[in-house]
């Protein structure tokens, strides 16, 4: 009997595990970086509600 069905099953399960790990990494990255345009380590500018950037 061919070993192909067993090989395909293992390959499919590895792809499923890889997808789960990628989803976890994406969720972790999204939680760490709420604002993708923010510069890391830069001080935040307080929002006073005027919509203007302080000089």
Q: How far apart are CA 30 and CA 14, in angstroms?
A: 24
pLDDT attached to residue 43: 59
Q: Are 45 and 53 spatial neighbours (Cβ–Cβ below 8 Å)?
A: yes
Say how far apart CA 45 and CA 41 lie, in whole Å.
Answer: 12
Higher pLDDT, 20 or 47: 20
pLDDT at 3: 77
**pTM of the entire structure?**
0.51
- Reply yes or no on whether the pLDDT at 1 is more than 60: no
For the chain, how many residues are written? 55
| Confidence at residue 25, expressed as pLDDT on a 0 to 100 scale | 93
**Segment 9-36, tens digit of pLDDT:** 999 999 999 999 999 999 988 887 766 5
- Rounded Cα distance between 47 and 42, Å, is 15
């Amino acid at each position: 009997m061919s070993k192909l069905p067993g090989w395909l099953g293992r390959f499919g399960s590895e792809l499923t595990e890889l997808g789960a790990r990628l989803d976890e990494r994406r969720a972790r990255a999204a939680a760490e970086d709420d604002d993708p345009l923010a510069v890391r380590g830069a001080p935040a500018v307080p929002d006073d509600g005027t919509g203007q950037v302080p000089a």
